[in-house]
Amino acid sequence: MSSKRLIAILLLAAIIRIAHLAALWNSPVLNVPIIDSRYYQSWAESLAAGKAQPAELFFMSPLYPYVLSFLYRLFGADPHVAVIFQGAMGLLLVFLIYRLGTRLFDERVGLLAALLAALYRPFVYYEGVVLSAILILCLNGAALLLLLGPIKKTVNFVAGGLLLGLSALARPNVLLFGLLVFGYLLFRPKAERRFAFYWLLGLALVLGPVAYRNFQVSGRWVLMTAGLGMNFYAGNNPEAQGIYSEAPFIRSAEPEFENKDYLAEAAKRTDRELDMAQASNYWLKQGLFYILEKPGRAIRLLLRKFFLFFHFTEIPNNLSLYAVSAFSPVLKLLPFTFGLLAPFGIAFWVLHSRRMKGGLIHIYGLSYLAATLIFFAASEYRLPVLLIVLPCSAAALLEIWRNLRLGTAKQIARLAVFVLLFAMMVNLPVPFAASLRSPRMDFFNLGVTLQVAGQHQEAVFLFKRSLSVDPGFAAAHLALGESFLQLGQAEAAKEEFRRGGAPMPEAPRRH
């Protein structure tokens, strides 16, 4: 019976994902990659075409574009290929969450957790954009299943280390969990301590060749990427707000500019030539100096990151869920969000920590919280915690339902109180978080990308979408005026330049 239910859940998940991708198929979401998506797409296209890669340190994590390049060699270098692959990975993710729920609790929890995952809006969103989130979730989920296996085997720890090493090559912050697992295993009973070194071996088999490659091209032993210092400074500086924000000397959030501008600014401030590793060390020190010089503000910033980690807002650092929802009715209709499910999962996790089968689960959740506190809050960086939160949410809902059916509601009073307390915190309305849910910048960035490509008619549509969200957005008025000018609509262009507070150029600047 349970296998039939699981198949039905996977079929439902497949139908949802097919409908979602169909809605996005001809939209700018897939046809106009921006920021990180654009960088990954260009990198993967270059790899698929067999072009020589720059002999320099990786600035962005390499696994995802290398995976895409393999697919692109087989099926063509098209973002649609990427999201079809990610839709399939999304089904694997639903299955992995079923297995995690079953392993942590029981079959009923696993099935309900799988259903929640099938209908979880952020999962479906990330499956439809060219970003590494779903690949990371599947790697983490498989690694956790190996770690939580009922029988401790050497192969489990080597394979788990391999999978987590691959995940670190897609986003390095998971390495904190990897190192904590090593420490945790060292303090286990003597018979289990050897597993720490097998775990480390698995990590080393993946990360060692990358570190050696980095040494070959730069003369420096850099484990994965050279972006540590820049990311640390982005989350810890006088203008930091707890989320990713561009430093004032950065031309654009696009990685190719971010990389060069951080390097150039570090060289300017130190008055000497620097390579990427030296620049990363410089920005790491600048972030640490800020914390030491302004401890009061640093603590307030830390508390804000903590709050944002748990807040229902899906904080974007690329194209946001809120913008993609405008193109996909399916995404809008999906019922389960972080704000709805997390209070149940977090409350159950806190109250029933002893039922979670060992400390590794707690280390996993705390490592991702710590990574946010060290750097900055973002939906994509919180997402891996849902591998545990969803099974905990399913366990909480089943416990509440069971006690209501038995007429023993008093047995769940403590759980209900904690759920309500967490729900109030997670869903607290704050103006700062509300601004993060506005898709005006998403539509604007998509429009600018189309404008640069000379697709002015399409750009007009997106600038108008941006202005429908924020009619006073001056930059969108000016960009819309520019596109009108290129389309030969002088009167419309003049009005938009007036609204944007700038004089209209005398002649069209043909792109």
Task: Tell me what pLDDT residue 187 has.
Answer: 87
Helices 338-351 & 413-426 angle (0-180, nearest 10): 140
Low-confidence ranges of the chain (pLDDT < 70): 1, 356-358, 507-511
Spatial distance between the Cα atoms of 150 and 391, rounded to a whole number of angstroms: 18
Judge contact between 280 and 272, C-beta under 8 A. Answer: no
Tokens 């301590």 found at: 193
- Judged on CB neighbours under 10 Å (0-12, 13-18, 19+), 509 is exposed
DSSP state, residue 34 = -
Cα–Cα distance measured from residue 481 to residue 492, given in angstroms and rounded to the nearest whole number: 7
d(CA 378, CA 371): 11
Strand positions, DSSP E, 35-185: none
- Single-letter code of the amino acid located at 459: A
The predicted-structure confidence for 234-288, as pLDDT tens digits, reads as follows 999 999 999 988 888 887 777 778 888 888 888 999 989 888 888 899 999 999 9
With contact defined as beta carbons under 8 Å apart, do 158 and 198 qualify? yes
What rounded mean pLDDT belongs to the chain?
91
Confidence at residue 357, expressed as pLDDT on a 0 to 100 scale: 65
Taking the domain 440-500, which CATH number applies?
1.25.40.10
Report whether 61 contacts 132 (CB < 8 A). Answer: yes
Q: How deeply is 337 buried, as exposed, middle or buried, from its count of CB atoms within 10 A (0-12, 13-18, 19+)?
A: middle
pLDDT digits (tens, 9 = 90+) for 294-311: 999 999 999 999 999 999
Q: Compute CA distances 460 → 11, 311, 320, 384, whole Å.
A: 39, 34, 20, 37
In contact, 80 and 128? CB cutoff 8 Å: no
> What six digits make up the tokens of 129?
């954009």
Amino acid at 1: M
pLDDT given at position 318:
85
What pLDDT, on the 0 to 100 scale, is given for residue 353? 78
Q: Give all strands (DSSP E) within 466-506, no chain letters.
A: none
Domain boundaries, the chain: 2-220+313-432, 440-500
Strands (E) in 231-350, as ranges, are none
Residue type, 252: S
Structure tokens belonging to residue 492: 């419309």
Query: Residue holding tokens 């002893």?
Result: 354
The torsion angle over the Cα atoms of residues 38, 44, 46 and 52, rounded to 10 degrees, is 130
d(C-alpha 257, C-alpha 261), whole Å: 6
Residue listed under structure tokens 């620049």 = 279
CA distances for 317 relative to 12, 131, 276, 340, 366, angstroms:
30, 11, 22, 22, 22
CB-facing half-sphere around the CA of 141: CA atoms within 13 A: 30
